[in-house]
Amino acid sequence: MLRVPYEELYGALLRAMEALGLKDERAQLCARLFAETTRDGVYTHGLNRFPRFVETVKNGSVLVDAEPVKTAGMGAIERWDGCSGVGNLNAWASMERAMELARLHGMGGVALANTNHWMRGGSYGWQAAEQGMFAICWTNTLANLPAWGATSPSLGNNPLVFAVPRVNGHVVLDMAMSQFSYGSLEGYSKRGQPLPVDGGFDAAGNLTKDAAAIEASKRALPIGYWKGSGLSLVLDMMAAMLAGGKATYQIPREPVRETGSSQIFLAIDPGSMGNANAMNRIADGIIDFLHQATPVDPNQPVRYPGEQTARLRDENMRLGVPVDPEIWKRISAQS
């Protein structure tokens, strides 16, 4: 495994962003979000995603200079137009705005239309938690998931993020509505490994752990069968309706042309709600109880969402961030 120091990864990404036409703070933030995603161990949405990001800039899906514009709203909630800008920058700006509104009103929300892939959704959960805020955010995506009871894809996998601030380690959940992403299925099928649980249907319509069979049928499974199917639908509806933007079925199906998605960012400022120490004690009580659960495997204690992220982050800062040698060669050669 090739590991590179975080600062070196960030530096190479920054130069690559500048080469793409991003300027100053925008290039810095975009590079930082890609670098941090890789540092945190979400390899599918960091450096490894960068070549596809470049393609979306070059084919005109992503406009590097576009910035979001407020189009409607009142009080605690606003509607913004992402103007086809850079997805992670638009999402970051929207969560910042939701938090600004939360500082004023106790709670704040931004519905963002016409934006691009936000890369790792968890980034905006960490962003909020690091400022002591609770947050909920989600995005719609292109149609890549059949509804429960259907064979054709009418739903997106619509990642949903919850963030809970906590002194001894923020709790950040970042989950898509499909049991496995196509990226993850590809990994299992390349390694010839079975999925740990059923991940979709084979061509005959049977549930299967065979990743290649699911890649072929395009029938990935929503989490909880009918439940995740329903949840994906309502997330799409709320995002598209409140943002006045595109719904999943209107988003181009080809991944490098996926553009125009709708997103929701909600933030709650606990400062308006009572004693911060008392709230933190409640959080610690819950996490302690979780950690005391009897594990199935005595060597695998139960973890909370974000616990593994924090561990990997520390490890990768210490040992260097693992990178794909091929992609790393191309990006670091550019600079």
Q: Taking CB under 8 A as the criterion, which residues in 261-320 touch a second copy?
A: 266, 268, 270, 272-275, 278-279, 282-283, 285-286, 289-290, 292-297, 300, 302-305
Q: Which of residues 77-136 bind a second copy (CB under 8 A)?
A: 77-79, 104-109, 111, 134, 136
**Closer of 17 and 102 to a second copy (Cβ):** 102
The one-character DSSP state at 112 is E
Q: Given candidates 44, 148, 327, 330, which one binds a second copy under the rule CB under 8 A?
A: 148
- How big is the CA angle at 52 (ends 65 and 180), to the nearest 5 degrees? 120
Decide if 139 contacts 114 (C-beta within 8 A): no
Closest approach, Cβ 123 to a second copy, in A, equals 17
Closest approach, Cβ 202 to a second copy, in A, equals 13
Measured distance CA(50)–CA(221) in Å, rounded? 27
Q: Given candidates 8, 55, 184, 249, which one binds a second copy under the rule CB under 8 A?
A: 249
Q: Which of residues 187-246 bind a second copy (CB under 8 A)?
A: 197-198, 205, 207, 223-225, 227-228, 230-231, 233-238, 240-242, 244
The one-character DSSP state at 180 is S
Measured distance CA(268)–CA(105) in Å, rounded? 9
Annotated active-site residue in 45, 105, 170, 291: 45
By the 10 Å C-beta count (0-12 exposed, 13-18 middle, 19+ buried), 61 is classed as buried
Strand order from edge to edge, sheet including 160-164: 69-74, 77-81, 107-115, 261-268, 134-139, 160-164, 171-175
- Phi/psi for 46 (5° steps) reads -105, -125
**Closer of 230 and 252 to a second copy (Cβ):** 230
Closest approach, Cβ 240 to a second copy, in A, equals 5
Token look-up 């590097």 returns 64
- What is the C-alpha end-to-end distance of the chain, expressed in Å? 22
**Closer of 91 and 111 to a second copy (Cβ):** 111
Q: Residue 159 interacts with a second copy (CB under 8 A)?
A: no
Choose the binding region for a second copy from 15-23, 87-95, 168-176, 311-319 (rule: CB under 8 A): 168-176
Token look-up 């103007």 returns 83
45 is known as an active-site residue: yes
**212 SS3 class:** helix
Closest approach, Cβ 134 to a second copy, in A, equals 6
Q: Which of residues 55-84 bind a second copy (CB under 8 A)?
A: 71-79
**Closer of 278 and 333 to a second copy (Cβ):** 278
Closest approach, Cβ 175 to a second copy, in A, equals 5
List alpha helices for 78-120, DSSP H: 87-105
Active site residues: 45
